[in-house]
Amino acid sequence: MNNIVTIPKKLAQKGDLVVIPRKEYEEFLTLKKIIPVVKATKEEMRVIRRGEKEFREGKYVEWTQLKKELARRRSRHG
């Protein structure tokens, strides 16, 4: 049996749609209830905004690249 899902174009175009398995969603809801929301300080918000700007400008390293670099440094110094 095939399941058919229709996604409104507005949701698909904005990137506002997230699809996850029900079990993961239920776990998320549970965690959401027990993890406190912490308000960022002005300094933390400044750092976050700077990071977002740098990300938009392409000033970042991909995770796989970072792992390789760290492993290479470890092997040289270990």
Q: Which two tokens stand for residue 27?
A: 């776990």
pLDDT at 1: 67
Q: What integer pLDDT is reported at residue 37 of this predicted model?
A: 81
Domain ranges of the chain: 15-78
Q: Which one-letter amino acid corresponds to residue 14?
A: K
Q: Can you spell out the DSSP letters for 8-42?
A: -HHHHHHT------HHHHHHHHHHHHHSPP-PPPH
Cβ within 8 Å of residue 28, ≥6 positions away: 20
Nearest alpha carbon to residue 42 among 50, 53, 31: 50
pLDDT tens series, the chain, 78 aa: 678 888 888 877 777 788 899 999 999 999 888 887 889 999 999 999 999 999 999 999 999 999 999 999 999 876
- Going by C-alpha positions, the residue among 5, 29, 26, 27 that lies closest to residue 17 is 5
